Amino acid sequence: MPQYVLRRLLQALPVLLIATFLVFALMLAIPGDPVRALIGPGEALDEEQIQILREENHLDEPVLVQYALWLGKALKGDLGRSTQNQRPVAAELRTRALTTFQFGLAAWILAVLIGVPAGIVSAVYRGKPVDYIATVVSIGGVAIPNFWLGIMAILLFGVTLGWLPTQGYVNIFEDPVQGLRHMILPAFALGITSCALIMRQSRSAMLEVLAQDYMRTARAKGLRERTVVWVHALRNALLPVITVLGLQTGRIFAGAIVIETLFGIPGTGQFMVQAIFARDFKVVQGAVLLMALAVLTANLLTDIVYAWLDPRIKYDG
Of 7-15, 16-24, 38-46, 284-292: span binding another protein (CB under 8 A): 38-46
Among 30, 133, 136, 313, binds another protein (CB under 8 A): 30
The residues pairing with 81 across neighbouring beta strands, listed in sequence order, are 88
| Binding status of residue 269 toward another protein by CB under 8 A | no
Q: Which is nearer to another protein, 266 or 310 (CB)?
A: 266
* Min separation Cβ 174 and another protein, Å: 7
Segment holding 98, helix H or strand E: helix 89-124
- Among residues 144, 162, 153, 140, the alpha carbon closest in space to that of 186 is found at 153
Q: State which of positions 67-106 bind another protein (CB under 8 A).
A: 81, 84-87, 92, 95-96
Binding string, residues 125-154; x marks residues near another protein by CB under 8 A: x-------------------------x--x
The residue count of the chain comes to 317
Instruction: Give, in order, the Cα–Cα distances in Å from 26 to each of 20, 58, 67, 142, 276.
Output: 10, 16, 12, 31, 11
| Binding status of residue 155 toward another protein by CB under 8 A | yes
Q: How far apart are CA 94 and CA 74, in angstroms?
A: 14
| Binding status of residue 225 toward another protein by CB under 8 A | yes
Query: What contacts 33, CB < 8 A, 6 or more positions away?
Result: none
Instruction: Give, in order, the Cα–Cα distances in Å from 8 to each of 12, 14, 74, 292.
Output: 6, 11, 21, 14
* Total site size for another protein, rule CB under 8 A: 77
Q: Which is nearer to another protein, 81 or 200 (CB)?
A: 81
Among 104, 165, 255, 286, binds another protein (CB under 8 A): 165
Q: Which is nearer to another protein, 17 or 156 (CB)?
A: 156
Q: Which is nearer to another protein, 228 or 252 (CB)?
A: 228
Q: How far apart are CA 272 and CA 280, in angstroms?
A: 9
